[in-house]
Structure 1
Amino acid sequence: MKTVSPHDLLRRLEVRQENAYEGRATAWINRDIVPLPPSRRTWGAWSFVGFWLLTGFNISGWTTASSLLGLGLNVWQAMISVIIGQLIVGFAVVANGFVGAEWHAGFPVYNRFVWGVFGSFFPLLMRILLSVVWYGVQLVFGGKSVKVVIGAIWPSFYTLRNTLPVNAGIELNDLIGILVFAFISFPLFLVPPEHFRKPFLCGSIIMTVAVFSIFVWALAKEGGGGPLLTHPSELSGVEALSGGSKLGWAMAYGVSSTIGSTSAGILNQSDFTRFAAYPSAQIISQLIIVPLSTVVIAFVGVIVTSCAAGFYPNDGLLWAPYDLLPVIQARGGPGARAACLFAGCAFVISQFGINIPGNAVSGGIDLAGLLPKYINIRRGAFITAVLGLAICPWKLLTGTSVFLTVLSSFSVFLGPLTGVMIADYLVVRRSKLLLTHLYMPQPASVYYFTYGVNFRAVVAWILGVWPLMPGFISAISPSPIGISEGWTRCYDLAWPMGFVVSASVHVLLSKAFPPAGLGEVDDEDVYGTFNEKVDGTNGYLDETASVEGSEKEKVPV
């Protein structure tokens, strides 16, 4: 039997897809991280609307207000915090998406000109970690939605005997739901992101119908908005904040936490805007739909929960749809099972919508950026999914999990990261890039900086993070830590404060120590990014095409 040497094994594992630069995948480029040619840029404005409706109308968005009411806010104060936070998110998403929309490069390549060709591995590894963990968390929510679907078909599934040990941290029917959701997800990883347009639009329509059907039904059944609107403290068990600085800071924290819940998506927005058919496709659509989708689903979630507290007073606050729907099925009339089946299927679709592009594909793109010679988007998505299941995410969602607290506070690190990225591209570089230098790991590249690391980004990020660390450490500590009120206030403003400080420091350092290559662009369209010509060999031939006049191809919507 012939033995396979490690060298031969590695060669067999290499990504076989060709690219415009060297004709094969290398340690710095493959088909999935090369700037996209026009033929792969298929997302118009309505594609972004469908994307955000599907990813916004999900279980996490539905329960947004629950944590804010836990601060002592009433429903309207919580919604004001959500609205302000999501307006900021909308602008941040668009600002961080310009690189993808204009130069058609994703998050891994974006950070090469911000952090340096080697320094870019730091934000890349951080985003990969988040993709794995969030994939696992959303996998659990998807599994619970599958449980609702199975329970609507076979009600006995809800009372299935649990044969798992106590230390498993999960019941058998929940585990079955998770595994079913996971296995259905796997074939969907094979769909290239440029073909997501129609699934996004179809899924968003189904989810929108389901959400508003539940909303109208709840209002009609209760005959109003429910007791949570008038007596929030009695139901939530948290004393209301009557006014003053405590209320102001609680709302400020609510704004920051609302931004923080979307901070991972803001960070790698260029992974999706690179599929924009034309640069402006992402602007108006995302400025409107990003805040609107989250505000609407948060409002629907809190009103439906309030109504349910009125007509199911003995069941507590049923914040999550997968908790509410089984109660509706058990207490409802003849049509309740069919209604719960439809609603459960809609939430399963919404979880596919957030977990596949938002976590699996994002993780796949980032892993492709880390090891492009061996990993493409599909391989990376499968790796992300397997790791997301392997970490036993249901254990992370227990009320005593310190890791869950760390995860919810991760905007401490992501706000400064985003600030550095946006400031570098829009302010320091004035939206001008040398694409070819982004794939050159040698000192000849203007993005090599000092030993492959841009010290300006490093210093700016550290200075943005350090004021937030005392509050962060106090938040994750299992025992109380005495820190001054000032540090707590800094932590309450984690994402916006970290963003502003790091962005400002990065701009100042870049003014004091200007990096090379500012204002320069390539003389030739080496990758066929703007003028594509297919020759049957590598798909991108026109290496002498001008960059100017590049965005005039016919565009879809």
Structure 2
Amino acid sequence: MSNVADSSLSNSDLAPVPPSQRTWTMYNYIALWFSMSMEITTYQLASSLIAKGMDWKQAVGTVLLGNLIVLIPMLLNAHAGAKYGIPFPVFIRAPFGVRGANIPAILRAVVACGWFGIQSWIGGTAIHAMLAIIAPSVAVAPMTLWLCFIGFWLLNMMVVWRGVDTIRRLQAFGAPFMFVIAAVMLIWVRAKAGSFGEMLSTPSQFHSTREFMAVFIPSLTGMVGYWATLALNIPDFTRYSKSQSAQSWGQAFGLPVAMALYAFVGIAVTSASSVLFGHAVWNPIELIGMFHQPVVAFIAMIAILIATMNINIGANVVSPSNDFSNLYPRLISFRTGGMITGLLGLAMCPWHFLSTPDAYIFGWLVGYSGLLGPVAGIMVTDYFLIRKTELDVNSLYRKDGAYYYANGINLYAIAALALGVVIALVGLFVSPLRFLYDYAWFVGFFSAGAIYWGLMRLSEAGSIATGLKHAEADPPDAR
């Protein structure tokens, strides 16, 4: 592809992946989703539904439905990655402009910072739980939990400073460790409860459909919001796919099955905890501390720390570090971007997000889904309805191409994004419109997509974006 290598808008990470290097098969995508799904936050995603009053069938159904819904934009946005070999930061240039693309990229980066803080808090609580096993007198000190959190956060910062290569040898063990932990917890509560029937015997706490729907609707939005981040930057993975069918079938199987299976473990164990302890214990680290088997609990905590570190560095540092670096490459290196990620994650007070099931689902997941849903709506609308899946790849890397718009920014996309976010989140501040917030991702997705389609169709920029200005476009096989 001509001119891409010399473009100031490209580097080795952003350039299209040539067909010869697109080697991922359906198995790779199935494995990807199983490895990403087996983490503490997935467990808590499911266990929080039991804590909110659902029975196991309602909880499993909510998780499965939410993941089937988010699979749709996931597959739609994945298409461009597989077709053109381009990553998310490049793909998003088509609707937002080569400079305007930084705005949705930073929104996605800020959410990743929040997740970085959350994972750091989980790691800190795991260290604190280990201390409670081996040195109970130290663990009860008022500042011990906070010191454990800061210690794990600093450990993550050290890895970022030294480079992600320092943890690659551990990455292969993260998902298996979490699977083993889940299996041990399932077996343990099964033995304590006496049977699977007893484990799953906790009834629904809702006495009417209205009561159930009041929890189900925002919970479903939270399930969609959980993977709203990946629904945007999934081209970062599908750009390596051997074919469209490989990534689409791999994801269509891997995402819902992996989430349903691992979520079921969280649901079953939390449901059993209600039977065993009289209340739902939705935090697996707290539950492991109830094992009263120090060796098993200690090994489980070590596994959690390794898995949490892997997830944090791989999923919550690499992407935002690149996004921050892309703002000003001369001043912000990947290392500096990682430091910014860590500091913002700390500043976002992640302990509040995991303080209760309400804070986790209705506050964190639903809240940021209102930011990312509009971005996804604009991406899907632009690629499928306006461009009919045809992109001028050269122009994505040029300042004089079809996607430069006005000084590199498509103001119509920015306007649609801003309006979509306002509409999705207004219910958080205006009580009569609370229902809009409960459906935040859906409201943002459809409203921003519709506004963007209307603005582009009614403007001169719309005619340019549909492909009338495709000077020097390469044929598809020249990617």
Same fold (TM over 0.5): yes
- Counterpart position of 1:258: 223
Contact 1:101–1:275 under 8 Å retained in 2 = yes
- Counterpart position of 1:52: 33
Match of 2:69 among 88, 111, 114: 88
Change (3 A) 1:173 1:202: closer
Match of 2:185 among 196, 203, 214: 214
- Counterpart position of 1:541: none
Q: How does 1:180-219 map to 2 (within 5 A)?
A: 180=155, 182-183=157-158, 187=162, 189-190=164-165, 202-219=173-190
Q: Give the letter for the 1:357 counterpart.
A: G
Change (3 A) 1:522 1:287: farther
In 1, distance between residues paired with 2:89 and 2:422?
25
TM-score by length of 2: 0.85
In 1, distance between residues paired with 2:57 and 2:149?
34
In 2, distance between residues paired with 1:280 and 1:201?
26
- Counterpart position of 2:147: 172
Contact 2:29–2:250 under 8 Å retained in 1 = yes
- Counterpart position of 1:422: 380
Alignment partner of 1:124 is 2:105: yes
- Counterpart position of 1:515: 463
Q: When you count helix as a share of all residues, which structure comes out higher?
A: 2
- Counterpart position of 1:159: 138
In 2, distance between residues paired with 1:392 and 1:323?
20
In 2, distance between residues paired with 1:390 and 1:248?
34
Contact 1:226–1:306 under 8 Å retained in 2 = no
Match of 1:99 among 70, 75, 80: 80
In 2, distance between residues paired with 1:363 and 1:357?
11
- Counterpart position of 1:473: 429
In 2, distance between residues paired with 1:114 and 1:508?
13
Change (3 A) 1:250 1:509: same
Deviation at residue 188 of structure 1 after TM alignment: 5.8
Give the unaligned 5+ runs of structure 1.
Answer: 1-18, 234-239, 475-482, 526-545, 551-557
Contact 1:87–1:291 under 8 Å retained in 2 = yes
Change (3 A) 1:83 1:160: closer
Q: Give the letter for the 2:165 counterpart.
A: L
Change (3 A) 1:43 1:385: farther
Q: Give the letter for the 2:463 counterpart.
A: P
In 2, distance between residues paired with 1:346 and 1:49?
23
Q: Give the letter for the 2:188 counterpart.
A: W
Larger gyration radius, structure 1 or structure 2? 1
Change (3 A) 1:496 1:270: same
- Counterpart position of 1:437: 395
Q: Give the letter for the 1:496 counterpart.
A: F
Contact 2:218–2:362 under 8 Å retained in 1 = no
Deviation at residue 500 of structure 1 after TM alignment: 2.2
Q: Give the letter for the 1:380 counterpart.
A: G
Match of 2:90 among 97, 105, 109: 109
Deviation at residue 146 of structure 1 after TM alignment: 4.1
Alignment partner of 1:273 is 2:244: no
- Counterpart position of 1:528: none
Change (3 A) 1:218 1:405: closer
Change (3 A) 1:102 1:364: farther
Change (3 A) 1:423 1:287: same
| Per-residue deviation, residues 182-211 of structure 1 (Å, max 9, x unmatched) | 54565562379xxx7x97665333332332
Deviation at residue 47 of structure 1 after TM alignment: 2.8
Match of 1:327 among 269, 290, 295: 290
In 1, distance between residues paired with 2:445 and 2:249?
23
Match of 2:271 among 299, 306, 325: 306
Change (3 A) 1:199 1:97: farther
Contact 1:207–1:349 under 8 Å retained in 2 = no
In 2, distance between residues paired with 1:128 and 1:261?
15
Alignment partner of 1:296 is 2:261: yes
Deviation at residue 424 of structure 1 after TM alignment: 0.9
Deviation at residue 285 of structure 1 after TM alignment: 1.3
Change (3 A) 1:31 1:266: same
| Per-residue deviation, residues 332-382 of structure 1 (Å, max 9, x unmatched) | xxxx33322332233223323432222101112322432344556555345
| Per-residue deviation, residues 463-501 of structure 1 (Å, max 9, x unmatched) | 433433331225xxxxxxxx33xx222222221232123
Q: Give the letter for the 2:176 counterpart.
A: I
TM-score by length of 1: 0.74
| Per-residue deviation, residues 528-555 of structure 1 (Å, max 9, x unmatched) | xxxxxxxxxxxxxxxxxx64287xxxxx
Deviation at residue 414 of structure 1 after TM alignment: 1.4
Alignment partner of 1:461 is 2:440: no
Contact 1:416–1:502 under 8 Å retained in 2 = yes
- Counterpart position of 2:438: 492
Match of 2:299 among 328, 342, 355: 342
Change (3 A) 1:404 1:73: closer
In 2, distance between residues paired with 1:463 and 1:387?
25
Q: Give the letter for the 1:344 counterpart.
A: M
In 1, distance between residues paired with 2:358 and 2:287?
24
Deviation at residue 523 of structure 1 after TM alignment: 5.9
Q: Give the letter for the 1:468 counterpart.
A: A
Contact 2:164–2:313 under 8 Å retained in 1 = yes
- Deviation larger for 30-39 or 50-59: 30-39
Deviation at residue 462 of structure 1 after TM alignment: 4.1
Match of 2:207 among 205, 229, 242: 242
Give the unaligned 5+ runs of structure 2.
Answer: none
Deviation at residue 72 of structure 1 after TM alignment: 4.3
Deviation at residue 515 of structure 1 after TM alignment: 3.3
Contact 2:127–2:148 under 8 Å retained in 1 = no
In 2, distance between residues paired with 1:276 and 1:229?
40
Contact 1:305–1:318 under 8 Å retained in 2 = yes
- Deviation larger for 490-499 or 456-465: 456-465
Deviation at residue 226 of structure 1 after TM alignment: 7.3
Q: Give the letter for the 2:297 counterpart.
A: C
Contact 1:136–1:392 under 8 Å retained in 2 = yes
Contact 1:160–1:173 under 8 Å retained in 2 = no
Contact 2:24–2:242 under 8 Å retained in 1 = yes
Change (3 A) 1:200 1:523: farther
Change (3 A) 1:124 1:266: same
Q: When the two structures are aligned, how many residues end up with a matched partner? A: 474
